[in-house]
């Protein structure tokens, strides 16, 4: 993965951890009011969303790299993948994609 992608994933994760820590501090406060629990839920939701963004950033980058690799690498002939000459044409196309 490229360094800028890793930096982006690390940044999203740091933001996630900050929101999660804020939620934990609110829940652990001795003088917490019911209104404050709503804030804790908000920060917990924000933490989950930011971790999901980090995960999507990493996964989409890997998927894009795989797609580029697959386009750049020609598929072998259908007979090299175990499909005999009696297989229907569409089977060869699907199998070699």
pLDDT digits (tens, 9 = 90+) for 46-84: 999 999 999 988 888 878 777 777 776 666 665 545 555
Q: Which of 39, 2, 3 is nearest to 22 (CA)?
A: 39
Instruction: Name which residue leads in pLDDT, 1 or 51.
Output: 51
Question: Does the pLDDT of residue 24 top 90, yes or no?
Answer: yes
What confidence tier does 85 reach under pLDDT thresholds 50, 70, 90?
low
Contact 12, 53 (CB under 8 A): yes
With tokens 């920060």, the residue in question is 43
């Amino acid at each position: 993965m490229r360094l800028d992608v890793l930096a982006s994933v690390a940044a999203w994760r740091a933001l996630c951890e900050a929101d999660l820590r804020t939620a934990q501090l609110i829940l652990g406060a001795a003088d917490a009011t019911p209104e404050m629990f709503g804030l804790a839920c908000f920060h917990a939701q924000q933490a989950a969303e930011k971790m999901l963004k980090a995960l999507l950033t990493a996964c989409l980058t890997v998927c894009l790299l795989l797609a580029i690799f697959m386009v750049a690498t020609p598929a072998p002939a259908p007979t090299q993948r175990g499909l005999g000459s009696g297989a229907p044409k569409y089977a060869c196309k699907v199998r070699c994609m």
